[in-house]
A and B are shown apart, each in its own frame.
Chain A
Amino acid sequence: MNPIRFLFRRKGGKGWHWTDLVTWVWLGTGLLIMFGPALWLVLSSFKSPTQLAEFPPTILPYVSQTAEVGINGEVKELPLYTAVTEDGQVRTLAEVRRIGTVAQMVDPDAPDTVYKVNINDRRPVRQVGFEIENYLKPLQAFNFGLYLRNSVFVTTVATLITLLTNSMAAFALSKYEFRGRNGVMLLIVATLMIPLSVNLVPLYSVVSKLGLLNSLWGVILPTVATPTGVFLLRQYMLTIPDELIEAARMDKASEWQIYWRIVLPLTAPALAVLAIFSVVWRWNDFLWPLIVLSRKELFTLQVGLNTFAGELNVQWHFILAMTVATMIPVVVVFVFLQRFITAGIAGTGLK
């Protein structure tokens, strides 16, 4: 389909109905609000530190042009500017040095003449360009590979355990009749109201007593029991007809087989939703890993990123670049599982 035609599709009839206009503006604004920051982040991650500090900021990343100029027998790489010289001519000049508000500049082709230019009368010569260094340097120096491995390990293992334990709990809470079933469910959901900051200290002492400090398992295990997951899966399992389970029971299936071969496959859409949630949660976890992990070689990406923010200066260009890099896996997961998300969220009424 023609994309232009698609974007400007109307309700029908001649001309634009006011609802077309409202829809268009509404969705356009939504798109801007949702994707604006992400786009800004990605573009900014390719900017040099000076450019990041620039005001007013530019949308696109630029790279300053430089020229090789030989002065006094020395060849130097100097930044180029378009400058208005004292005689009123516009020239492309390279800056040799700057004293206060006055810059000493030379023509790269005739480096013997020195022009004195007020810094307000010149603009850097630059073009759109990407500062790949922002990515390459931390990838080499900053142990990106190691942090990535830790993050991937924590995320996959935590997600697998989350899916397994939460689905087992959900199975029991949806398909077995026992006294206090609703009470247990209520208790589980009620824990949603306890923020992590309240839990932090007791959780820390438990993990520390178990000797899990400075171990990835200490990051994984406290996070795997999620009330959201149990709730989401239980609500979905409630829609699986009991007759199916009774049929399996007549078919001599053990309770484990009923769970593993009947209930779990039928819960796949909800499991996919929980898997996405879990991946995003665990991948983005910062506070808890920061507390548990103090040895550098165990850092996850999010904790590793933190090392760019020193006490005195923050290396924004590296932080931005690595933030983009850490976003990629989550985006990929989203792209592949998104049809489950929409189906699952619509099905469970959960956000």
Chain B
Amino acid sequence: MGRIRLENITKNFGGLQVLKGINLEIEEGELVVFVGPSGCGKSTLLRQISGLDKPSSGAILINDRDVTEVSAADRGLAMVFQSYALYPHMTVKLNLAFGLQNAKMPKAEIETRIADAARMLEITPLLSRRPGQLSGGQRQRVAIGRAIVRDPTAFLLDEPLSNLDAELRVSMRAELGALHARLGATMIYVTHDQVEAMTLADRIVVLRGGQIEQVAAPIDLFERPANRFVAGFIGAPSMNFLTPEEAASLNGTPPAGAALIGVRPQHLEPADSGLTLTVTLVEALGTETVIHGEIAGGKRLLLTLPGHRPVQVGGQLTVNADPARLHFFDAQDQRIG
């Protein structure tokens, strides 16, 4: 059981409004990812949900119960912090047990829960160590274990992988995904890394400046971004934006009112007619080739081609895209069609 509803949440720090009216419904068992640039209010929003902080206005409902005024301890949620926040003076086992002891759980039950969680996360041999004696990845597991033993209504994770090195991050990401599938619990996962968001999420919430820009499944977000910000934020390298004049030579006609045309680097391909660009830089990554170029007006354009392509810096290249792959935005940067 873990349905969470946010109604018109705002949060002010002094005169600064950090959250500007957040409305969101999270279904039971869903893994929702909050993504957005640094400082957009992701952590702040998560803290309102956790109860560590109280919103300036609005309501938070967990399983239809209004918990806005309920303390963090009594919301039944568990949180995994970016810094892991393991108690440095306690052994791993005590770290896991602390929350259960506070809940006055019988000793035997605590033991079985810890044993189960430790087995699931493969940290059984570490139980008698202290956090200082663990590697980053192991600490991460313990932090997740501390959340799991509590059997919470929902898990809240604030950039849990950002302190790990790239390789470990990829494997832990996969493990987290598997863990979610196995536990079937509601999870809210905060990250600024769109790859994490795309791979893990059932639904992604894109935030900017304390507002929700779009809520959608990863592929919908990629294929039908609601506005220019989401279009530019999701996908790497990010989308090219052209004015109707610059895009005139591309296939297809922009709908009425289109002030901006977006095309992803992956969707541009060499063609007989279309946009002609002067190549300024070629990045051969092996699996794909990233080509930087400039079109007539001096606007920079990016395209990626699969595999290795022999392209000369300074040479000319004519590219075009499937009209169905183009994105159109109006003067207010909102999606058309």
Q: Say whether A associates with B.
A: yes
A248 CB-CB contact with B under 8 Å: yes
Which one, B74-82, B178-186, B280-288, B295-303, is touching chain A?
B74-82
A295 CB-CB contact with B under 8 Å: no
Which one, B61-69, B96-104, B218-226, B321-329, is touching chain A?
B96-104
Query: Can you pick out 12 interface pairs between chain A and chain B where the beta carbons lie within 8 Å of each other?
Result: A243-B81, A243-B82, A244-B85, A247-B85, A249-B52, A249-B72, A249-B73, A250-B50, A250-B52, A250-B78, A251-B146, A253-B73
Contact residues, A214-270 vs B (CB, 8 A): 241, 243-244, 246-254, 257, 261-262, 265-266
B240 CB-CB contact with A under 8 Å: no
Which chain B residue has the least Cβ–Cβ distance from A244?
A: B85
B72 and A241 contacting across the interface, CB-CB below 8 Å: no
Which chain A residue has the least Cβ–Cβ distance from B80?
A: A247
Which chain A residue has the least Cβ–Cβ distance from B77?
A: A250
B50 and A244 contacting across the interface, CB-CB below 8 Å: no
Q: How far is the CA of A59 from the CA of B88 in the complex (A)?
A: 52
A251 proximity list for chain B (CB < 8 A): 73, 98-99, 102, 146, 150
Contact residues, B79-124 vs A (CB, 8 A): 79, 81-83, 85-89, 98-99, 102-103
B88 and A266 contacting across the interface, CB-CB below 8 Å: yes
Known: A243-B83, A246-B79. 12 other contacts (CB 8 A): A241-B83, A243-B85, A244-B85, A246-B72, A247-B81, A249-B72, A250-B50, A250-B78, A250-B79, A251-B73, A254-B102, A265-B89
The winner among B78, B82, B98 for most chain A CB atoms within 10 A is B98
The winner among A249, A250, A253, A261 for most chain B CB atoms within 10 A is A250
Contact of A241 among B73, B78, B85, B103 (CB under 8 A): B85
A246 proximity list for chain B (CB < 8 A): 52, 72, 79, 81, 85
Interface residues contributed by chain B, number (CB under 8 Å): 23
Which chain A residue has the least Cβ–Cβ distance from B99?
A: A251
User: How many Å from the CB of B95 to the closest CB on chain A?
Assistant: 9
A253 and B102 contacting across the interface, CB-CB below 8 Å: yes
Which chain B residue has the least Cβ–Cβ distance from A253?
A: B102
User: How many Å from the CB of A219 to the closest CB on chain B?
Assistant: 34
A257 proximity list for chain B (CB < 8 A): 102
Q: Mark B286-314, 1 if CB is under 8 A from A, else 0.
A: 00000000000000000000000000000
B146 proximity list for chain A (CB < 8 A): 247, 251
User: How many Å from the CB of A240 to the closest CB on chain B?
Assistant: 9
B72 and A250 contacting across the interface, CB-CB below 8 Å: yes
B83 proximity list for chain A (CB < 8 A): 241, 243
A266 proximity list for chain B (CB < 8 A): 88-89
A252 and B103 contacting across the interface, CB-CB below 8 Å: yes
Q: How far is the CA of A270 from the CA of B85 in the complex (A)?
A: 21
Q: How far is the CA of A135 from the CA of B79 in the complex (A)?
A: 64
Q: How far is the CA of A250 from the CA of B70 in the complex (A)?
A: 12
Q: Mark B161-177, 1 if CB is under 8 A from A, else 0.
A: 00000000000000000
Q: How far is the CA of A244 from the CA of B86 in the complex (A)?
A: 7
B86 proximity list for chain A (CB < 8 A): 247
Contact residues, A189-215 vs B (CB, 8 A): none
A253 and B98 contacting across the interface, CB-CB below 8 Å: yes
Known contacts A241-B83, A243-B81, A243-B83; A250/B89 CB under 8 A: no
Q: How far is the CA of A1 from the CA of B150 in the complex (A)?
A: 54
Q: Which 5 A-B pairs have CB atoms at the shortest separation, nearest pair first? A: A251-B99, A247-B85, A252-B102, A243-B85, A252-B73
Which chain B residue has the least Cβ–Cβ distance from A261?
A: B98
Which chain B residue has the least Cβ–Cβ distance from A246?
A: B52
B73 and A247 contacting across the interface, CB-CB below 8 Å: no
Q: How far is the CA of A228 from the CA of B222 in the complex (A)?
A: 59
Q: How far is the CA of A208 from the CA of B319 in the complex (A)?
A: 96
User: How many Å from the CB of B303 to the closest CB on chain A?
Assistant: 43
